[in-house]
Structure formats: structure tokens, C-alpha cells
Structure 1
Amino acid sequence: MQFTGILLLFLLLPLFVVPWFSQFLQQRRFDTVEPLENHVVISGHTPLVHTFITEIESHAHQHPYVIIETDQDRAVELRDLGHTVLHGDPESESDLRKASVEKAQAAVVAGDDQLTLNAALAIRDVAPMVPITATLEDATLRQYLHSAGVEYVVQPRQVIGQALATHYAMSEGMQSDRIVILGHGTVGSTVRSALETWGADPTVVDIDEGEHVDVVGDATITKTLQEAGVKNADAVIISLPKDRQALYATLLARELSSTVDIFVRVTESEAVGRVKRAGADYVLELSEISGQMVAAAVLDEPVSGTDSDILFTRLSDPDVELSALDIDRIIGVSRNEELHLAPDHDFELQQNDLLIYVRE
């Protein structure tokens, strides 16, 4: 019996006790972080946040940060990569205090709109004076974020839509109305609105019927693209919900026409190279643009991506900084919680406006 008991003890230790004790210590390790000051508190780790962190780490001035991550395995992975991580809930006031949010220089909230609103309210309760930058997908909720205390509201989908339209106008000179837009969501509708403002009459394709939709059908089916006139089009602008749809639509459009210019919006960085190999001439990545916009809102330094020609800068002296800038290159101006796309010549720029424009 003594031998059996000792044997069972040695069997149980590695199988049950050691893993449990290791997990317990690991959990305690990620439930707290060292006190910080003048840092950035980040809600969760997304592709957008990855781009944002890359931007702030690449600048000359140090910008310490802490990521509040709800998933423990993800928190472990991020800590192993060298990030400062707190395993917790960004909507929890106690976890926000553990992240020293009341001593932070800024807070960044990125995720679905409900999470963004709840986390912003929690941060405002704990740290009334800390500026909050948040992303937003549904533009109708902007006033609620403003009421929740968000200082800078980033709307990347509208910016990407305007950027695609601006890039087309700069490259093609608006010489033809033979433009096909695949997808009429936030990005696609922004592209259409911009092109119509400049006098074009694009053909819009979407899976659902709706105002401004000319062809109802699946944009990943050749018959739909033929009906929309892709074969004879001068440009095709693709903004579909999933990257694999954008990839397939690009392949079909290039097969129908070897000369058409194809502009594409994708969500993930992995899709950029694939879509270009499929035949796209110009690709914008949602997470990259989103992260750069957030970085420009938080930092007092110009931000520009390595793979795109879109630049973001916060104006300190508009008269001096805009003296050599062509108004037609301006995609939009973000002023606190408002986004002004394609401002006209009468639009008066102000100090601290976030200017979004196309590189020469």
C-alpha cells in the first residue's frame, strides 16, 4: 500500500498538480503589470492595434503602452513577443485601474461599436481627463461616442472609400464614366458618392437591392460582372465584405479585361500581396489605414505607411503647412469627432485638425 501510494503520488503530480500550479502562477503573472505613467492604454489586440503599435514604436520619442487583453492565451503570446500586457477586461474599471489608465497620456479603444462605447464609458469614469481615441464603423453612432467622452473618432472605412475615389481621379483624370463599383457598403457608397460629386456616373453592383444599386448579383460570378459592363470598363473599384471575395472578383475582372484598372480594399495584410498577384493595380488595407489614423490621432507627429501613399498629419500651423499642398490631394479632415471628406476650397482648416492626404 505504501508503494502504491507513492506511485500514485508521482503519477498525479505531473499529470494534474504541476499543470494546475503552473496555470495558476501564469494567471497571476498576467493579472497585474508594473505601474506606468504617460503611457497609452490599449483595449485588446487586433490587426489595427498591431499597426498602431508598429507606428508608435517606430517614432523617435518613446511611447510606452499596455494592452488589456481578455483572452489569456493571447495575452501570453503577446507577452512572449515583448509587449506589455494585462490579462483583463477593458470594460472593467478595476482592470483599467490596474493598467494605470488615470495616469495615461491617451487611451485607444478598437473593436466592435458596442465594445467601443462600453469601454469608453468605463475609461471616462476612471480617468475623466485622459483623451480617448476610438474607431467607429457605424457613422450614426458618432454622437453617442462623443457623449461617452471620446475625443477623437476614427472612421477608417469612409477614409478608404474617399482614398480609392481620390486615387482613381488622380490617376485617370475623370475622363470616363465607365467605372464599376463592386460592393455598396460603407466603403463602396463613399466611393460612389465621391465620384458622383465629381461628375462621374458609376455602375454599382451589390448582392442586395437598394438605392443607387444598378446591378443586383454576386460580384464573384462572371455573369454579374458581364452584366455590369466590366469587360468594357476603364476602372473597377472592389470593396466586398470578405478578402477572399475581393480576391476572386479581382481574378474575374482581370480575366474579362486585361486593360481595366482595378482598385481594391482588403481587410487583412495577408490579402494585399495575393490581390496584387491576382491583377489589382492599387490596394488599400483597412487595418493598416485604421492603425495609422489612430497613431496620427494619438501622436503629435506625421504618420505614413510604407505600403500606401496616404499620409496623416496633425496641423499645428495650417497656413504654413498647407502652403505647398494641392487641395485636390486632400482626402479628408478629421476634427475631433467629425470627419469631413473631400473638403472644398472654402473649408477653413484649424489647428489640431488631422489632415489625410495623398502623397505626390
Structure 2
Amino acid sequence: MEKQIEGGLPTKASDELEDHIIICGYNEMVESLVNELEDPDIPFIVIDDNEHHIRTLHRDEIECLFGDPTDEDVLINSRICKAKLLIANCSDEKNANIILSAKERCDINIIAIVNDKNNTHYLKYAGANRVISPKALLGSFIGRKALAPLNDRIIGSTHFMTGLEIAEFPIYPFSPLLKKSLKELTIGKSTGANIVGIWKNGTLSLNPGSDEIIKRNSILLAVGNKEQLRKLKRLTHQNKGILMHEELEYTENHVIVLGYGDVGRRVVKRLTKAGVLFVVIDTDERVFQDADFSYMVGDAASESVLKKAGVKHASTVIMIMEDDSDIIFSILVTRRQNPNCVILARANNIQSIDKMYKAGSDYVASLTIISGQMLGRITTLPYDQPLREETMMMYEGIEIEIYTVSSTSALVGKTLIELDLNNSIGLAVIGIRIDDVAISDIDPAITITEGMTLAVLGNEEQIEQFRKRFVR
């Protein structure tokens, strides 16, 4: 890259860069998006006018460009006419300027990130092909998590081999699985599904041992076909269903939603559609001007307000306020008042995730991580293809690698016991395909042969270690 004479900051993309993605504006969400793009080796460049951001990216050998993304010359230097997509990720006003400047140069596909959903149509009018609200994405994600126990569908599962899917299953109050070991439960025998991991306080443990105890904050990661996963899902549910009727009262087994911004609106939309009994709490009375559901005006972190909302008898409490400190305090109050309810929390800052789990949340959804990951998937879709939320669900920080064993691989002739991938690298083999037949209930004594296809599960670092050692 060419450098500025003063400061050594890159101001022009390399001449070889083409068919790439231009990202205008850097923040934590883009940091997550960058991780998504680097894995499948999708070329991209980040434009930002913050010197610190560019120096950090340049130091980490991430292609970047220092300058104002509304400036046509800066866009030209990013090789915009050779790019396949531009993502406008600044303020709504600046995004409109970026879109107009980009369209002036060439007819490039543009995704605009909108901060205020009311500005969506303005960004479309400026020329954006898609307008994405990270808060709306997060709201859909949390809404789907909240509704998981209400139906028999497997929500958010990922298909990775013929007939095999992987899905998360939170453990709900009164589940018959609670306080029992995997050995006692014999889940594989009763459902056919295979437990490949357990989330606890935001940490994933792969290949859990038979003595692993299922607890209230456990989230099972399981592999199987649709019917096997349905059977497992029924076991993870509470025996007492969430009360569902049309009366606007909240006395027992209802859902409490704390916060009614963009995220809250999307959650409420899903709860309403499902016919779930719920109450919403927000400090701003104006947000309820057109509300046709039960709500309260008050501080969602207040013990007295939560008591009035029936927190002691709620089945689920969804915390999606703007302030992480308020959310953490609300988790503490809620967990003390109701040890058995399910708590779903939104983390606005990545640094708050661990604190929320320690405070007592069952599941924490990071705004920046989830929106960055979902945006990574959206960038691979044709701009005119409608978005289906099912295709955007995923597991934070976890990847699945599909690998066909070659004759030169160090895997050939070894059993899974000998390889001991769980202890040596930290990943799990979750599926094997032999002669077009995929299996998830894998005998660890099986010998790996040329032509087999393995599906391995782990984080980015673990997958990279696997590639270096075995992909040849």
C-alpha cells in the first residue's frame, strides 16, 4: 500500500485488490465482521478517518485506508469500481453522504447500517440496496431465543451434513434433565441426538464427560437429525408451559421485557405474534404512545418496579436496555426474586458479557458480536434475495469445518482415540460421512481412512490448528 508522507498511514489500496468489500467506518461490530470475512478469505478494506483505528488495523496487517469515506477521492483510492460491495457503517447522516458519493462513481451494491430505524427509507432513497439495523437483528435473535420453548420447531439450527444439524438447547426451569449427569440421562439412547458441547457462563466445553451435571445455566449443543433434535428439545423444556391467552394481565408464567427501543420493539413483535402473555417496562412513557399491549413506566432496574411487574412469578425476563450497568443490576435483582426464571440479557459492550453471566443471566447476546456475525452472512447473499432470519442464526465464536480426508493427511490410519483432538487441540468431531452416509453417533475407535468426510467444531484458533496439522 502507498503511505502518507506524514504519519505513515495508508491512503491507497493495493493495485491487486478487486472483487472486494469496502467497509466505511470501524467499530466493535466491524471487528466481529472482519473475523467473519477473514475465515473464508473474502478480500476487504476498511476506510476510517480515525487515526488510532487505522494504525491499529495496519499494525495487525488488515488492509485499511485513512480518510473520509464521504470523499470521492478516498473511495476511488479504495478501488470502488473494482469492488463488489460497500458497507456504510457511520452515522445515518454520514452514511447517506457515503452512499451518494459511491453511487456517483459506479453502480456498486451497498449495505447501509442504520442507527435509527426511522431513517431506513432515507438511506434506501439515497441508493442503498439493503438497510440493516443491528438492534433489529439482535431483537430477532433474542425473540427467537425467548420463544424457543413455545413450539416444537428447532429454531436456529445449522445444517452441516446430509441429514445432520447442530442446535443450542437452553435448560429451562423444571426440565427433567436438571441436576442429573449425562451418564444418568442416556440422552443418546432416548433421543438419538449427540451432545457435543455444553455452554456454561458463556464458555463452551466440547465433548463433555459422562459425569457432567446439567445445571440451570447449562446450554446444550447437540447434533442429530430433525426428529432426534425435537425429542431432545422436549426434554429441555419446562413442564409448566408459558401461560398463553389474550387477557392483559400478568400474574403467573408471563414474560417481562425490560426496555422498549429498537431491540425491544422487535422482541415484542415476536411475542405478540406468538400470543405470549408479556409486560414491557421502560422509563420513557412516550415510547408507549401507540402501544396495544400491557406495559409499565418505571426504572427497569428498580426492585419495586420489577415486583409490580410480577417478577417472582415470571417464566422469562428479557433485559434489553441501553445501559449495561442497569442490565447487570436488573439481573441481580431478578435472580434474587426468582431463582427459576430464564434471564436473557443484551450486552452493549463486549466487556460486560462475563459480568452478566456472573450476575445470573442464562444467556447473553452481544450486540456487536451477533450483528457482526449476521452481517458477515448477509454479505454473501445476492442483494435482491430476501433476508430469512433462520439463515442468520449462529453460535458466537464457533465454527464448523468440513474436511475430506486426503491420502497424505496425518489423520489416515488413526482412530479418534489416538488423535485425541479434544485434548490436543480442543475441538470436537461432530459428524463423519462415509459413502454418502452421515453419522453423528461416532465410535471413537473408528479408523480414519482416505475419502472420509469429517465435520469438526471449534473456535477460530482451534480450527486453524487443525488445518495446519491435518489439511494437506
Of residues 239-248 and 31-40 in structure 1, the stretch that sits farther from structure 2 once superposed is: 31-40
* Deviation digits for residues 94-138 of structure 1 (CA, Å, limit 9, x no counterpart): 11111111111111111322122221111111222x111121233
Partner of 1:189: 265
* Deviation digits for residues 272-295 of structure 1 (CA, Å, limit 9, x no counterpart): 222112111122111122212321
**Within 1, Cα distance between the matches of 2:312 and 2:7?**
58
- By how many angstroms is 1:198 displaced? 1.6
**Within 1, Cα distance between the matches of 2:379 and 2:37?**
9
* Deviation digits for residues 192-238 of structure 1 (CA, Å, limit 9, x no counterpart): 22212221231111011124462211112212211211122111011
Partner of 1:307: 396
Gaps of 5+ in 2: 152-240, 244-252, 383-390, 401-472
**Within 2, Cα distance between the matches of 1:118 and 1:304?**
31
Contact 1:133 1:297 in 2 (8 A): no
Q: Helix, strand or coil: the match of 1:137?
A: coil
Contact 1:206 1:218 in 2 (8 A): yes
* Deviation digits for residues 43-85 of structure 1 (CA, Å, limit 9, x no counterpart): 12111111111001111xx322111110112211211111111
Of residues 134-143 and 79-88 in structure 1, the stretch that sits farther from structure 2 once superposed is: 134-143
Q: Helix, strand or coil: the match of 1:121?
A: helix
Query: Identity of counterpart residues, as a percentage?
Result: 25
Amino acid at match of 2:377: A
* Deviation digits for residues 5-46 of structure 1 (CA, Å, limit 9, x no counterpart): xxxxxxxxxxxxxxxxxx974435423332321111111211
Amino acid at match of 1:263: L
Amino acid at match of 2:149: S
Q: How does 1:241-280 map to 2 (within 5 A)?
A: 241-280=322-361
Amino acid at match of 2:13: V
Contact 1:44 1:68 in 2 (8 A): yes
Q: Which has the higher helix share?
A: 1
Partner of 2:125: 147
Amino acid at match of 1:278: A
What TM-score, normalized to structure 2? 0.57
Q: How does 1:106-121 map to 2 (within 5 A)?
A: 106-121=85-100
* Deviation digits for residues 220-264 of structure 1 (CA, Å, limit 9, x no counterpart): 221221121112211101110122221121111111111111111
- By how many angstroms is 1:151 displaced? 1.3
Q: Helix, strand or coil: the match of 1:219?
A: coil
- By how many angstroms is 1:303 displaced? 6.6
Contact 2:369 2:396 in 1 (8 A): no
Q: Is residue 291 from structure 1 mapped to residue 406 from structure 2 by the alignment?
A: no
Amino acid at match of 1:307: E
**Within 2, Cα distance between the matches of 1:24 and 1:308?**
36
**Within 2, Cα distance between the matches of 1:34 and 1:89?**
18
Name which of 99, 105, 109 aligns with 1:126. 105
Partner of 2:113: 135
**Within 2, Cα distance between the matches of 1:163 and 1:305?**
9
Partner of 2:140: 162
**Within 2, Cα distance between the matches of 1:276 and 1:295?**
26
Of residues 225-234 and 157-166 in structure 1, the stretch that sits farther from structure 2 once superposed is: 157-166
Partner of 1:40: 21
**Within 2, Cα distance between the matches of 1:104 and 1:86?**
14
* Deviation digits for residues 288-327 of structure 1 (CA, Å, limit 9, x no counterpart): 2221232122225977644289x9xxxxxxxxxxxxxxxx
Q: How does 1:311-322 map to 2 (within 5 A)?
A: none
Contact 1:55 1:303 in 2 (8 A): no
Gaps of 5+ in 1: 1-22, 312-360
Instruction: Supply the RMSD in Å over aligned alpha carbons.
Output: 2.5
Q: 1:54 to 1:245 in 2, by over 3 A?
A: same
**Within 1, Cα distance between the matches of 2:370 and 2:265?**
18
**Within 2, Cα distance between the matches of 1:170 and 1:95?**
46
Partner of 1:88: 67
What TM-score, normalized to structure 1? 0.73
Aligned length: 286
Contact 2:69 2:98 in 1 (8 A): yes
**Within 2, Cα distance between the matches of 1:156 and 1:286?**
7
**Within 2, Cα distance between the matches of 1:138 and 1:151?**
17
Q: Is residue 175 from structure 1 mapped to residue 242 from structure 2 by the alignment?
A: yes
